[in-house]
Chains A and B, each alone.
Chain A
Amino acid sequence: MRATTAVSGGSATHNETALLALRADFPIFSRKIYDHPLVYLDSANTSQKPRQVVDAMMQFTYTHNANIARAMHTLGVEATAAYEEARAKIARFIGAEHAAEVVFTKNASESLNLAAYTLGATLKPGDEVVISVMEHHSNIVPWQLACQRSGAKLRWFDITTDGRLDIDKARSVNLINERTKVVSLAWVSNTLGTLNPIAALAAWAHQYGAVMVADGAQGVPQLPTDVNVLGVDMLAFTGHKMLGPTGIGVLWGRSSLLETLPPFLGGGEMIEVVRMESSSYAPPPHRFEAGTPPIVQAYGLGVAVDYLNSVGMENIARHEHAITAYALEQLRTVAGVNVIPPTTSDSRGTAVSFTLAGVHPHDLMQLLDGRGIAVRGGHHCARPLHERLGIQASTRLSSYLYTTTDEIDELVAGVVFARDFFAGKVR
């Protein structure tokens, strides 16, 4: 068994016993990869799943499976109740006032596409949409498409040399102004880890009546979330990065906004009355949920939220902060490692991207995999950011509530091994 050590005297993280007990909920941690215990440091890509979530989804399928809303029999009523209860749970988890503000999608990408398509319907030439250079492709391409369709202009925040949004530069060029209709920004960067001051940016957007959208894919799993504190009008996130299954995402939108938006996809269950000439549409959230939704996945995400609540999002945030601070500190000791800023642990999520002199991220990823260590190598769906940084690719580690400092130690030893492997044979 892998030993665990607490960070910074133990107060900053789960205590050792609690962390071990929590890890026991994740059967995958008994996996060996090439005879090494799995060291999973790719949670920003997808999180691992606790037994509680997987078992509940299986039991649901075995005992309550039916289509929702349409089926009037007992199973249909049970499935519908479970689906809507999951919606309510998720609404409470993010501090939403109404369950109807939670729209189920298949992932954060679809959530952002839904936002861009429906908000984009009223864009016209002369309007502006503002994003940033640190966005995931999911928060770039849908807005490019919306701008191409409407003739609106896409603008973006740059970053500072320390990896933060360059707000001063944006202010100096009036990036957000009376022409701005939408501002869509990552709450937490999937590559840099940067935590953006969303509330202040939302206030700036609202000053000009623009709609503020946040990509919460990396924020909601890691931090206590309250949409009212964030001050946004829409928040996109995905289930599989927060202990839930794949195939379920969420777009939260303020009721007053969702009610004004046109449908996204057409089909069953999103309608009120269908006539051959034209149809009228259901109110939100069902207006945006055409067809049979991912029912068991929504239910599973509800169970994942229960699990996160039982650990406590404050505890999770504290643990991750401590692990990230430890990782930054340890990586700094390795000659050849260059951590992409921010290099400090303040205002930061858990993604830490770095380069290693003489070793391409793909090669590093492969050598680490040989030691059972899972990280991501490449541009992490943020090619414009890498171009801005002047690098082709990077290696990213990302931790979660189950990550131990020993796993960080394994990673650091693996990085040293990879560096020496290539240095010894290549140079």
Chain B
Amino acid sequence: MNDPTSIYQQIILDHYREKHHAGLREPYNTEVHHVNPSCGDEVTLRVALYGDRVSDVSYDALGCSISQASESIMTDLIIGRSLAETAMLYREFKKMMESAGRLTPNEDLLQDAIAFNGVAQFPGRVKCAMLGWAALRDALLRAGVSEAVSMEG
């Protein structure tokens, strides 16, 4: 297994230092609060929809570099996307996080988020990387988005 220090890719550290799209914004359709019970990482996340698009994802988070960078990179990827694309990206990201580092992630789709492929080798940290994504899916479900149902499985 790789040295655990290797999970801290520059791109992750950059997003941790300067989070994109951080802070809670109006307007929004639904707001959710998720925690990682093993470490206490928390995120409050809002999603705003416009037609079949995710027009905004805003969040207020406390946590480790992995969870915070993941939320930042996720908002870069998702804001402005259609609901179908959002569901597809969620599935791609989750597939990578569940692969234990054995898959070659699709860089065209996941862009900066492929930096988390290293994290996938550390089961204890997968939840950190998934926290914001799980909150996003929940917010979409609560907004009645049918695509969110198909995001799992």
Q: Contact between B122 and A378 (Cβ–Cβ < 8 Å)?
A: no
Please report the number of residue pairs spanning A and B whose Cβ atoms sit closer than 8 angstroms.
60
Name the B residues within 8 Å of A369 (CB-CB): 4
Q: Can you list, as one digit per residue, whether each of A389-427 has a CB less than 8 Å from chain B (1) or not (0)?
A: 000110000000000000000000000000001100111
A381 to chain B, nearest CB (A): 10
Name the B residues within 8 Å of A393 (CB-CB): 39-41
Q: Contact between B39 and A379 (Cβ–Cβ < 8 Å)?
A: yes
Q: Can you list, as one digit per residue, whether each of B111-135 has a CB less than 8 Å from chain A (1) or not (0)?
A: 0000000000010010010000000
Q: Contact between B39 and A361 (Cβ–Cβ < 8 Å)?
A: yes
Q: A378-B40, A383-B40 are in contact. Are A360 and B64 (CB under 8 A)?
A: yes
Q: A392-B40, A393-B39 are in contact. Are A34 and B3 (CB under 8 A)?
A: yes
Q: Contact between A377 and B39 (Cβ–Cβ < 8 Å)?
A: yes
For window 343-391 of A, CB contacts with B under 8 Å fall at 360-363, 366-367, 369-370, 377-379, 383, 386
- A426→B17 CA distance, assembly (Å): 6
B90 within 8 A of A: no
For window 1-32 of B, CB contacts with A under 8 Å fall at 1, 3-5, 7-8, 10, 13, 16-17
Q: Contact between A370 and B122 (Cβ–Cβ < 8 Å)?
A: no
- A362→B16 CA distance, assembly (Å): 14
B101 within 8 A of A: no
Name the B residues within 8 Å of A378 (CB-CB): 38-40
| Smallest CB gap from A369: residue in B | B4
| Smallest CB gap from B42: residue in A | A392
Question: CB within 8 A of B40: which of A366, A386, A422, A426?
Answer: A386
Q: A392-B63, A425-B13, A426-B17 are in contact. Are A366 and B39 (CB under 8 A)?
A: no
Q: A378-B40, A379-B40 are in contact. Are A360 and B7 (CB under 8 A)?
A: no
Count chain A CB atoms within 10 A of each CB in B8, B40, B65 and give the residue with the most: B40
B109 within 8 A of A: no
- A422→B17 CA distance, assembly (Å): 10
Where chain A touches its partner, the secondary structure class is helix
Number of interface residues of A (CB under 8 A): 21
Q: Contact between B10 and A425 (Cβ–Cβ < 8 Å)?
A: yes
Q: Contact between A366 and B7 (Cβ–Cβ < 8 Å)?
A: yes
Q: Contact between A362 and B122 (Cβ–Cβ < 8 Å)?
A: no
Name the A residues within 8 Å of B13 (CB-CB): 422, 425-426
Q: Contact between A360 and B40 (Cβ–Cβ < 8 Å)?
A: no
| Smallest CB gap from B39: residue in A | A378
Name the B residues within 8 Å of A425 (CB-CB): 8, 10, 13
B66 within 8 A of A: yes
Name the B residues within 8 Å of A427 (CB-CB): 17
| Smallest CB gap from B10: residue in A | A425
B149 within 8 A of A: no
Q: Contact between B63 and A360 (Cβ–Cβ < 8 Å)?
A: yes
- A43→B13 CA distance, assembly (Å): 31
Q: Contact between B40 and A370 (Cβ–Cβ < 8 Å)?
A: no
Q: Contact between A367 and B64 (Cβ–Cβ < 8 Å)?
A: no
B66 to chain A, nearest CB (A): 7
Name the A residues within 8 Å of B103 (CB-CB): none
Given contacts A362-B125, A393-B40, 16 further A-B contacts (CB under 8 A): A34-B1, A34-B3, A34-B4, A360-B63, A360-B65, A361-B64, A362-B64, A362-B65, A362-B66, A363-B65, A366-B122, A369-B4, A370-B5, A378-B38, A378-B40, A421-B8
Chain B residues within 8 Å of A, Cβ to Cβ: 1, 3-5, 7-8, 10, 13, 16-17, 38-42, 62-66, 122, 125, 128
11 example contacts (A-B, Cβ-Cβ < 8 A) are as follows A34-B1, A360-B65, A362-B66, A362-B128, A370-B3, A370-B4, A378-B40, A393-B39, A421-B5, A421-B8, A427-B17
